[in-house]
Amino acid sequence: MGRTALVTGSTSGIGKAIALKFAENKYNVIVCGRNEREGMNVLNRVKELSDGIFIKVDLRYKEEIDKLVESVLEHYDRVDVLVNNAGILVYKPLEEITYDEMIDSIRVNFVAPFLLMQKFLPLMKRWGGGVVINISSIAGLSPYPKGGIYCSTKAALISLSKVAALEYAQYNIRVVAVAPGLVETRMLYQDAPKSEKDRFREIMASRVPIGRIANPEEIAEFIVYLASERASYITGSVHVIDGGLIAGRREAGIEKKQQFNLPRYII
């Protein structure tokens, strides 16, 4: 039947690119997310390349996560790769973050990966091995103002990845975290005025030492590599893909950037 990959939040953005890249490499791909229309569009593209299914799920709720796992195991005998990609970005001062925003962020960014790992790691142990890749962010390594809940949950996900790697290394299970920087997705632009999107992109790119924003396919390429046997000695580590953004300060574009009231280091 071939290898199988489950990618959360794979109806758009980085998750979509990861799902399609796994399909290109002939994995069975489980696409999941809240938007059924977008999910089916991704699935149709997956099926041009390999086998796959779409499962509608809201990762804020444990019962939906339980149903997701049940549905996956009804279709496939095993899951070789779990990619915890789904995430919520809240960009507000601490005192303005609502209780619901805080709880939803924790549920999606941390609790959902935790629960899915609780479900699949024991199964991977029984199956003889597997790979878990948790998509964090440079925000989890280099926090910024107005990123209180996002930065915190992404940092927690990195820590969880390291703990799981230590606990399951003896069972031929690898767990790694990936920390992307600026990537061309809807999330990148959610706090920018629509009429200013092009100028916003130019300003943000000017802050990256490599001089541009990443495309989702670049992140996806690395994820598929980490899932492969070529990366068999990689576990417990955090892999930054940010064009040098948090390696040090780059002042280019900082004055222009302030027009958008953005932090120096934003995801």
What value, to the nearest 5°, has the Cα angle with vertex 63 and ends 17 and 50? 30
> Greater confidence, 92 or 191?
92
Q: pTM of the predicted model, to two decimals?
A: 0.91
The C-alpha atoms of residue 137 and residue 149 are separated, in whole angstroms, by 13
The 10s digit of each residue's pLDDT in 206-255 is 989 999 999 999 999 999 999 999 999 999 999 999 999 999 765 544 44
SS3 200: helix
The 10s digit of each residue's pLDDT in 27-76 is 999 999 999 999 999 999 999 999 999 999 999 999 999 999 999 999 99
The 10s digit of each residue's pLDDT in 159-217 is 999 999 999 999 999 999 999 999 999 888 777 777 778 888 888 889 899 999 999 99
Nearest alpha carbon to residue 245 among 188, 198, 196, 173: 188
Of the candidate ranges 12-21, 140-149, 190-199, the one whose mean pLDDT is the lowest = 190-199
Among 3.40.50.720, 3.40.50.10490, 1.20.1050.10, 2.40.50.140, what is the CATH number of 4-185+215-248?
A: 3.40.50.720
Residues with Cβ within 8 Å of 125's Cβ and at least 6 positions away in sequence, in order, are 168, 171, 173
The C-alpha atoms of residue 168 and residue 87 are separated, in whole angstroms, by 24
For position 264, what pLDDT does the model report? 45
DSSP state of 81: E
Helix runs in the chain, H state only: 13-24, 36-47, 62-75, 99-106, 112-127, 148-168, 186-189, 197-206, 216-227, 254-257
Residues with Cβ within 8 Å of 252's Cβ and at least 6 positions away in sequence, in order, are 206, 207
Q: Is 205 exposed, middle or buried (0-12, 13-18, 19+ CB in 10 A)?
A: middle
Q: How many helices (H) and strands (E) does the chain have?
A: 10, 7
Q: What is the DSSP string of 179-195?
A: EE-SBSSHHHHTTS-GG
Whether 225 is catalytic: no
The one catalytic residue in 27, 150, 168, 265 is 150
The C-alpha atoms of residue 252 and residue 229 are separated, in whole angstroms, by 40
